[in-house]
Amino acid sequence: MTTVLGEELLGLPVRVRGIDVGKAIDLLVDPLGRRVLGLDILCRDESHRFLPLSAAEILDGTITTGSALTLLAEDQLDFYRKRATTLRALRGTPVQLRGTKVGLLTDIVLTHDGAITELVVANGRKNERYPVEDALRISATAA
């Protein structure tokens, strides 16, 4: 299973059939913090669009999609922004393991299909990776 840090996706060019259309500037994460739903793309015309991760392929430092129709308009991006959170907003949020704070979220590790497998947490000394499990909570998303 190939994984990637969320930070590694930010700034990558987005191409549709070989044409640069913009770059990824944020990740939209489901409310429970278990899955990346898609990417906030800043297009060359300065508009923001939503690219569902399921419609994207990440390869060789590029995010590609087969059709411009998969880049949803800004109002559709707003729909996802209201129901999800962003990696940018989650950074610096306390992370708890079994109710004990273990540090602050700095990044996420995800598979190419969007499943978040690990949280990268700064604990004051170093960054540590914690496998996602039921006992691990990002405080902002804890029920």
Helix count and strand count (H, E) for the chain: 3, 13
Q: What is the pTM of this model?
A: 0.86
pLDDT tens per residue across span 58-113: 988 999 998 877 887 877 777 777 888 999 999 999 999 999 999 999 999 999 89
pLDDT tens per residue across span 39-64: 999 999 999 999 999 999 998 899 99
What does the DSSP assignment read for 50-107?
Answer: EEEGGG-EEETTEEEES-GGGSB-HHHHHHHHHHSEEHHHHTT-EEEETTEEEEEEEE
Q: Is residue 19 pLDDT above 60, yes or no? A: yes
Distance separating alpha carbons of residues 16 and 14, to the nearest angstrom? 7
pLDDT at residue 81, as a whole number: 76
pLDDT at residue 142, as a whole number: 42
What lies within 8 Å, CB to CB, of 58 at 6+ separation is 4, 9, 12, 112
Residue at 115: amino acid letter: A
Structural domains in the chain, sorted by start: 7-88 (3.90.50.10), 90-141 (2.30.30)
